[in-house]
A = this chain, B = another copy of it.
Amino acid sequence: MMLTFTYVVQGFIERCAMMVGARPHHARSLAEVLVEADSRGHYSHGLNRMDMYVKDIQAGICAVNGEPVVDKENAATALVNGNNLLGPVVANFCMNLAIRKAREAGIGWVVAHGSNHFGIAGYYAMKALKENMIGMSFTNTSPLVVPTRGKERTLGTNPLSVAAPGKDGDSFVLDTATSAVALGKVELNERRGDKIPDGWGCDPQGHLTTDPKRVLSGGGLVPVGGSEATGGYKGYGLGMMVEVFCGILAGAHYSKYIRTWKVTDRVADLGQCFVAINPENFASGFNERMSDLLSIQRHQNPADPHSPVLAAGDPERVNIKKCEEMGGIPYHINIIKYINDYAKQIGVDKQLPCDKLVSV
């Protein structure tokens, strides 16, 4: 792995986005969420995907001018028009608004239409932690998931994130798709020639399969829970819930009307939802109880003494600490090569350097 200083990656992404016309503060928003994804260990949502955002700007499918605007609001709610700007720009605007509302009204529930991919959902939910609030974020996504009993991809992986603050900077950070896995995991197994576990995806006939090729060629991901017998209909319902909060509530595109992955011939018009809840409006002692709940889980006897029970957000915490100790983010050489090739294509001279070789 090649270590690259965090601020260097950040600057590189900003340069690439600005090269195709993004305003500096919009480019910064994009760079911040991608770097955060990588330092949390979610490489599928970081630098690796930068070209997707940049291509959308280049194609004129994602806007660079203007700012998101509030269509409608009251003390606790708002409907925002993302004006087809970069997803992180829209999402930051909405989450900041939700937090401001929660300060006054105890809760802020903000939904956006006219948005684009925003990176990791957890990034926005976690903004609330700094204010000692609960944060949530939801987004609809391109159709990849086949509902229970179906054989068409009519739902996205529709992720949701919930972050809640404990004591002394500790926190609960759930950041999860409502599909059993991300498409990237199926692709990885296919490349390696490995089968996938039963309950990740289905073939074009809608039957669960362990063959990643069949999932990728006409099949689809299945909702968390897998088959109907093991509770897949619950994951399907949760994916629908996310769509209700996003496309349906916001009046954005939804379900099969969302453009498929990597298509750049029309706008995404994603729907997204951002919530902040101020625990001060409820029972006192929230942080203490939250930390205790985390402790109960982490300190119980694990099934395997070498694999302690974790709380949502713990694996990412380990990754962040590792990056901090190393002073940067370790990337696979192929990611660096890929993204440098791309940068060159769009005319960015200063390539992303590899500051150090590391084994992780």
Interface residues of A (CB under 8 A from B): 71-72, 74-77, 79, 105-107, 109, 111, 113, 134, 147-152, 154, 162, 164, 172, 174, 176-178, 180-181, 197-200, 202, 205-207, 224-227, 229-231, 233-238, 240-241, 243-244, 247-252, 254-256, 277, 279, 281-286, 289-290, 293, 296-297, 300-304, 307-312
Q: Give the distance to chain B from A302, nearest Cβ to Cβ, in Å.
A: 5
- What CA separation (Å) do A225 and B285 show in the bound complex? 32
Residues of the B chain whose Cβ atoms lie less than 8 Å from the Cβ of A76: 75-76, 105-107
Contact at A301–B150, with CB atoms within 8 Å? yes
Question: Could you tell me the distance between the alpha carbons of A308 and B234 in the complex, rounded to whole angstroms?
Answer: 17
Are the CB atoms of B226 and A230 closer together than 8 Å?
yes
Name 9 extra pairs, CB < 8 A, besides A111-B282, A152-B301, A225-B231: A72-B282, A76-B106, A76-B107, A106-B109, A113-B283, A164-B248, A180-B231, A199-B230, A240-B297
Chain copies in the assembled complex: 2
Tell me whether B283 and A79 are in contact (CB under 8 A). Answer: yes
| B-chain residues with CB within 8 Å of residue A255 when the two chains form the complex | 293, 296
> Is A309 touching B234 in the complex (CB atoms < 8 A)?
no
Residues of B within 8 A of A289 (CB): 247-248, 251, 254
- Give the docked Cα–Cα distance between A161 and B225 (Å): 17
| Least distance between A296 CB and chain B CB atoms (Å) | 5
CB within 8 A of A105: which of B77, B231, B233, B312? Answer: B77
Q: Which of B72, B248, B308 contacts A290 (CB 8 A)?
A: B248
Nearest residue, chain B, Cβ from A80: B282
Contact A283 B149 (CB under 8 A): no
B180 touches A149 (CB 8 A): no
Complex alpha-carbon distance, A231 and B77, angstroms: 33
Q: In the complex, are the beta carbons of A164 and B225 less than 8 A apart? A: no
Q: Which residue of B lies closest to A228 (CB)?
A: B307
B303 pairs with A151, CB closer than 8 A = yes
A279 to chain B, nearest CB (A): 6
Q: Are A302 and B150 in contact (CB under 8 A)?
A: yes
Most chain B CB inside 10 Å of its own CB: which residue of A74, A177, A225, A286: A225
A149 CA to B312 CA, complexed, in Å: 13
Closest 8 CB pairs between A and B? A251-B283, A206-B303, A77-B106, A76-B76, A174-B237, A199-B230, A237-B312, A150-B309
Residue of A134, A231, A286, A289 contacting most chain B CB atoms (<10 Å): A231
Q: Could you show 8 A-B contacts with beta carbons less than 8 Å apart?
A: A77-B106, A152-B300, A174-B237, A180-B230, A199-B199, A225-B226, A233-B310, A251-B284
A150 touches B226 (CB 8 A): no
Closest to A236 in B: B312
Complexed CA–CA distance, A109 and B205 (Å): 42
Q: State A77–B76 Cα separation when bound (angstroms).
A: 10
* Bound Cα distance from A296 to B250, whole angstroms: 18
Chain B residues within 8 Å of A174, by CB? 237-238, 240-241
Cβ–Cβ < 8 Å partners of A151 in chain B: 300-303
Indicate if the CB atoms of A279 and B249 lie closer than 8 Å.
yes
Give the CA-CA distance A249 to B176 in the complex, in Å: 22
- A231 in contact with B181 (CB, 8 Å): yes
A122 to chain B, nearest CB (A): 11
Cα–Cα, bound, A154→B296 (Å): 7
Partner of A250, one of B207, B282, B312: B282
